[in-house]
C-alpha cells in the first residue's frame, strides 16, 4: 500500500537517489569514450581491409587480428558499462519503492550498488586492456617503421 509521505521525507529520498546519479554520469562518460574508441578501431579495420597495397598480406593479417582483439575488449567494456547503468537505475527505483511502499529493500539496494560498482570497475579494466593493446600496436609500428 502506498504511504502518504511528508514533503521533507520525499526530499530526503530524492537526495539519497541523487548519489547514484554520479555513478550514472560516470557510466555515460565512459560509454561515450568507449564508443569513440570503438568507432576509430572500426575505421582501422575498414582501412586494413580496403587498402591492400599499403601493407603485406601477412602484416595486414597480424594487424587485423590485434585490432579485432581490441574490438573484443571494447565490446566487453561497453556491455559491462551499460549493465552497470541499468543496475544503477534499478537501484534508484528500489530506493523509491522501499520508501513509498514500506518494503524492506535495503539488502537489495546495497547488493545493486555493489553489483553496479563491480560491473563499472570491470568495464574500466577492459578499457585499460584495450588501451594497452593500442599502445603496444603503436610501439610495434614505431619499431618497424622508424627503427626506434
> What tens digit of pLDDT does each residue of 55-66 get?
678 888 888 898
Q: Which pLDDT score is estimated for 2? A: 55
- What pLDDT is stored for residue 73 in this prediction? 95
Q: What is the mean pLDDT of residues 72-94?
A: 94
List, for residues 11-22, the tens digit of each pLDDT value.
Answer: 777 777 777 888
pTM of the shown model? 0.81
Give the count of alpha carbons within 13 A of 85, CB side only.
15
Q: Provide the pLDDT for residue 115.
A: 96
Locate 34 and state its grid cell: 568507449
**77 — pLDDT class (breaks 50, 70, 90):** very high
Query: What pLDDT does 147 receive?
Result: 66
Q: Is 54 a residue whose pLDDT tops 80?
A: no
Question: What 3-state DSSP class applies to 132?
Answer: helix
**In whole angstroms, what is the distance from residue 140 CA to residue 95 CA?**
50
Q: Are 48 and 67 in contact (CB under 8 A)?
A: yes
d(Cα 10, Cα 14) in Å, to the nearest integer? 6
Cβ-based neighbour number of residue 103 at 10 Å: 11
**pLDDT category of residue 89 using cuts at 50, 70 and 90:** very high
Task: State the pLDDT at residue 72.
Answer: 95
Whole-number pLDDT of residue 49: 83
Q: Give the pLDDT score at 1.
A: 56
Given this model, what pLDDT does residue 148 score? Answer: 62
Amino acid at each position: 500500500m502506498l504511504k502518504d509521505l511528508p514533503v521533507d521525507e520525499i526530499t530526503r529520498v530524492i537526495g539519497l537517489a541523487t548519489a547514484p546519479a554520479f555513478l550514472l554520469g560516470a557510466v555515460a562518460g565512459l560509454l561515450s569514450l568507449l564508443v569513440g574508441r570503438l568507432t576509430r578501431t572500426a575505421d582501422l579495420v575498414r582501412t586494413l581491409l580496403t587498402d591492400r597495397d599499403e601493407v603485406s598480406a601477412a602484416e595486414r593479417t597480424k594487424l587485423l587480428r590485434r585490432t579485432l582483439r581490441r574490438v573484443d575488449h571494447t565490446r566487453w567494456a561497453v556491455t559491462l558499462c551499460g549493465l552497470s547503468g541499468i543496475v544503477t537505475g534499478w537501484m534508484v527505483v528500489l530506493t523509491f519503492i522501499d520508501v513509498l511502499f514500506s518494503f524492506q529493500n535495503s539488502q537489495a539496494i546495497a547488493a545493486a550498488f555493489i553489483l553496479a560498482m563491480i560491473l563499472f570497475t570491470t568495464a574500466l579494466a577492459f578499457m585499460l586492456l584495450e588501451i594497452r593493446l593500442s599502445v603496444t600496436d603503436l610501439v610495434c609500428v614505431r619499431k618497424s617503421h622508424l627503427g626506434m
